[in-house]
Amino acid sequence: ELKVEQNPLFLSMQEGKNYTIYCNYSTTSDRLYWYRQDPGKSLESLFVLLSNGAVKQEGRLMASLDTKARLSTLHITAAVHDLSATYFCAVEPTPLVFGKGTRLSVIA
Amino acid sequence: NAGVMQNPRHLVRRRGQEARLRCSPMKGHSHVYWYRQLPEEGLKFMVYLQKENIIDESGMPKERFSAEFPKEGPSILRIQQVVRGDSAAYFCASSPTRGPRLTQHFGDGTRLSIL
């Protein structure tokens, strides 16, 4: 059974700081997703990572995938308040298996 | 080009009643997935359907829950004799008919509250 673990589950960080969220998964998979969810809202797709060594960047967020280590990271650079949300990683095969999420709060 | 449409957005039921949640996939999508999200948790897969077929229902509770995706109309997730533990957000996602299964597109969810 595929298990997906995220850490940390809660993260409070100051504006302007950098931090990394980790996503480990237990069995082979070659497709990993990162989603953002604001309170009471749906999931917004951030990144799809399809192969070992894949790196994608959008604004202050950068995601990478190491399929050998079964690890993905979501790196936040110079955090701003607007990044406050819950971030989920999810792993295929279909159906998706989600981590529990990392609740990020960016404070001034 | 409308996205995945779910209704109602909020649904309140008393214990023992039935809840019906609807999901219309994106245009051209014929794969539908239902997920449940308990408070402070990630999404958990429930069921995967294509038109008129249940492909994978390994995440569905054995009793009281059922899903369908008829030839015409939306996909329906039905919960009979609801209990307090059914309170959750239920999300539907869809993916394209052809080609590799790309990113699932999620609806805004139905928040079910059981009194």
What is chain B's mean pLDDT, rounded?
A: 91
Residue B17, pLDDT > 80, answer yes
Residue A98, pLDDT > 90, answer yes
What is chain A's mean pLDDT, rounded?
A: 92
pLDDT given for residue B102 in this prediction? 63
Residue among A4, A19, A11 at smallest CA distance from A72: A4
Residue among B74, B107, B110, B85 at smallest CA distance from B4: B107
pLDDT given for residue B101 in this prediction? 53
A43:B43 CB<8 A: yes
**Phi, psi torsion values for B86, nearest 5 degrees:** -80, -10
pLDDT given for residue B97 in this prediction? 64
Mean per-residue pLDDT, B13-38: 94
A6-55 pLDDT per residue, tens: 999 999 999 999 999 999 999 888 789 999 999 888 899 899 998 888 89
A33:B107 CB<8 A: no
**Residue A58 Cα to chain centre, angstroms:** 13
pLDDT given for residue B35 in this prediction? 96
pLDDT given for residue B99 in this prediction? 47
B32-71 pLDDT per residue, tens: 999 999 987 889 999 999 989 999 999 999 999 999 999 9
Q: Which secondary-structure segment (H or E) carries A42?
A: none
Mean per-residue pLDDT, B21-40: 92
**Phi, psi torsion values for B25, nearest 5 degrees:** -70, 170
Residue A100 · residue A11 · CB < 8 Å? no
Cross-chain CB nearest to A95 (options B40, B48, B111): B48
User: Which whole-number Å values give the CA distances from A20 to A61, A81, B87, in the listed order?
Assistant: 10, 16, 32
Question: Quick one: closest CA in A to B109, which residue?
Answer: A42
- What percent of chain A is modeled with pLDDT above 70? 98
- What percent of chain B is modeled with pLDDT above 90? 76
Helix (H, G, I), strand (E, B) or coil at A39: coil
Rg of chain B, C-alpha, whole Å: 13
Q: Is B23 on the interface with A (CB under 8 A)?
A: no
pLDDT given for residue B65 in this prediction? 98
B48:A94 CB<8 A: yes
Of B114 and B41, the one with more pLDDT: B114
Q: Is B113 on the interface with A (CB under 8 A)?
A: no
